Amino acid sequence: MHVSRRSMVGAALGAALLGQRAWAQPGSAGYTPQVGQVGKDVVWVPTSQALVNRMLDMAGLTPQDRLVDLGSGDGRLVITAAKRGAIARGIEYNPDMVALSRRAAAAEGVAARATFEQADIFESNFSEATVVTLFLLPNLNMRLRPTLLNMPAGTRVLSNSFTMEDWQPDDSFNVVEGCSGYCNALKWVVPAKVGGTWQLGDQRLTLMQRFQRLEGSLGSDAPLLDARLDGPQIRFTAGGRAYTGQVAGRAMRGTVDGAAWTATQVS
């Protein structure tokens, strides 16, 4: 797939080279990418096909999704997503990699659904994505994090191995078979923005938000327990009652004890 810092390449070279051989590149017109080759911000190390498959499984990718791979390298993740029926786009700075990816997509018969553009990921618009994938270093992830957090609630973000610092992943999986370097898939779901004060019936719901995690209270003496977001879905327990619901802008609605509840943000 794509990238790692030069000092991190050595441990993954053997596995990456095996991954390159497994990922045949028909019609490469003489260009063969080299593991560890220097890029704009990083050097290139491909993601194993086993981890590509796991990341897409964790995303719950469907033909209704639009996937964008940031730093798409040899295009394997985009092509795999397209073969699963999704519309997939790769953004890659290296024009040779872009050309290689386009040839591979054509050879796999998915060029209509797998497209590639030569561009800087930090200057690109990928707001259409319902799934974003990346294999970038933590400092680059952090540069992207504000943009990712401003995407629609429910957007899934999948990373090979590298974190978003204090934005903890919602799910992770370490691939053992078919991968021996950079084998950890991390998943985040962009949470709705709910921090503030809400009117829920005749009570005030106060929410303090840290990414998908919530604290707060309902009324004057009911602290929230087990409170968190899963994209636009919210859940919390207050006064011994379990609330579940959906956030839509400045409104929420859901059920508690089988009865409907609604809330409106007031500040």
Residues 60 and 100: their CA atoms lie apart, in Å, by 27
Residue 18 is predicted with a pLDDT of: 40
Mean pLDDT of 136-149: 97
**Same-domain check for residues 35 and 155:** yes
- For the whole model, what pTM was predicted? 0.88
Of the residues 134, 154, 189, which one is the last residue of a structural domain? 189
Last residue of a domain, one of 163, 189, 215: 189
Which residues, other chains included, contact 30 with Cβ-Cβ below 8 Å and sequence gap of 6+? none
Confidence of residue 23 (pLDDT cuts 50, 70, 90): very low
| Domain of 209, in residue numbers | 196-265
d(CA 180, CA 219): 52
Query: Residue 38: which pLDDT band, with cuts at 50, 70 and 90?
Result: low
Higher pLDDT, 49 or 35: 49
Nearest to 158 by CA among 13, 236, 233, 47: 47
Q: Does residue 15 register a pLDDT over 70?
A: no
Between 2-16, 18-32, 134-148, 189-203, the lowest mean confidence (pLDDT) is in: 2-16
Please compute the mean of the pLDDT values over residues 157-175 and round it to a whole number.
98
| Residues 162 and 126 occupy one common structural domain | yes
Q: pLDDT of 81-109, one tens digit each?
A: 999 999 999 999 999 999 999 999 999 99
Domain end, chosen from 189, 212, 235, is at 189
Q: Are residues 167 and 212 in the same domain?
A: no
Confidence band, pLDDT 50/70/90 cuts, at residue 24: very low
Residue 4 confidence (pLDDT) above 50: no
> According to the model, what pLDDT value does residue 29 have?
61
Alpha-carbon distance 203 to 8, whole Å?
Answer: 53
Instruction: Say whether both 58 and 92 belong to one domain.
Output: yes
pLDDT exceeds cutoff 60 at 14: no
Cα torsion 47, 48, 49, 53: sign: negative
Please check whether residues 206 and 182 belong to one and the same domain: no
Residues 212 and 174 in one domain: no
pLDDT of 31: 81
Q: What is the pLDDT of residue 6?
A: 35
The predicted pLDDT at position 7 comes to: 37
The reply to whether 137 and 251 lie within a common domain is: no
Does residue 210 share a domain with residue 121? Answer: no
We report the CATH number of the domain holding residue 66 as 3.40.50.150
What one-character DSSP code corresponds to residue 151? S
Q: What is the pLDDT of residues 69-86, one digit of tens each?
A: 999 999 999 999 999 999
- Is 232 found in the same domain as 100? no
Same structural domain for residues 49 and 172? yes
Given a cut of 80, whether residue 133 has pLDDT beyond it is yes
Q: How confident is the model at residue 221 (pLDDT cuts 50, 70, 90)?
A: confident
Q: Which residue has the higher pLDDT, 31 or 169?
A: 169
Mean pLDDT value of segment 187-216: 98
Radius of gyration of the chain (CA): 21
Number of domains present in the structure of the chain: 2
Is 243 exposed, middle or buried, given 0-12, 13-18 or 19+ CB atoms closer than 10 A?
buried
Looking at the fold, whether 108 and 226 belong to one and the same domain comes out as no
Mean pLDDT of 159-184: 96
Beta pairing partners, 200: 203, 263
Q: Residue 245: beta bridge partners? A: 234, 254
**Do 132 and 180 lie in a common domain?**
yes
- Average pLDDT estimate for 168-185: 96
Q: What CA–CA distance (Å, rounded) separates 237 from 235? A: 7
Question: Six-digit token pair at 121?
Answer: 């990921």
> Stretch 197-219: mean pLDDT, rounded?
98
The pLDDT of residue 10: 39
Q: What is the pLDDT of residue 12?
A: 39
